[in-house]
A = this chain, B = another copy of it.
């Protein structure tokens, strides 16, 4: 069952977790798990210092600088396939060198310095599907 724009946004809710796919200059595509918050019609992804990584110069930032087009996919898996759903957001990304209040929905982001930048997605298309 195809979902309309309103139902898709309802499933995104105020935020959650999903997968961000970006264009990689040599390898074609890249994908990485992300958490996100929703603020008005925009989707906010943190660049954080909480989840251990080697650098905050993340490949996703390199990719988005090269090509700002991206997809956020949010899906619910269930062994009962009648309960599956997903929402896909095609968007253009901008990077802001600051956190965003909406990201404090995640408790770990309430710590000082936890979020060093925000990837702001401006949705071009929001579509979805549910099994029943």
Contact = CB atoms under 8 A, between A and B. Distances in A.
A71 B51 CA distance: 22
Given A73-B19, A75-B19, A84 B31 contact: no
Nearest to A20: B31
A31 B69 contact: no
Interface of A: 1-2, 17, 19, 21-23, 27-33, 50-54, 67, 69-71, 73, 75, 77, 81, 84, 86, 88, 90, 108, 129, 131
A31 B21 contact: yes
14 contacts: A1-B52, A19-B75, A21-B31, A22-B29, A23-B23, A23-B29, A27-B71, A28-B69, A33-B75, A33-B77, A50-B81, A51-B84, A53-B129, A81-B108
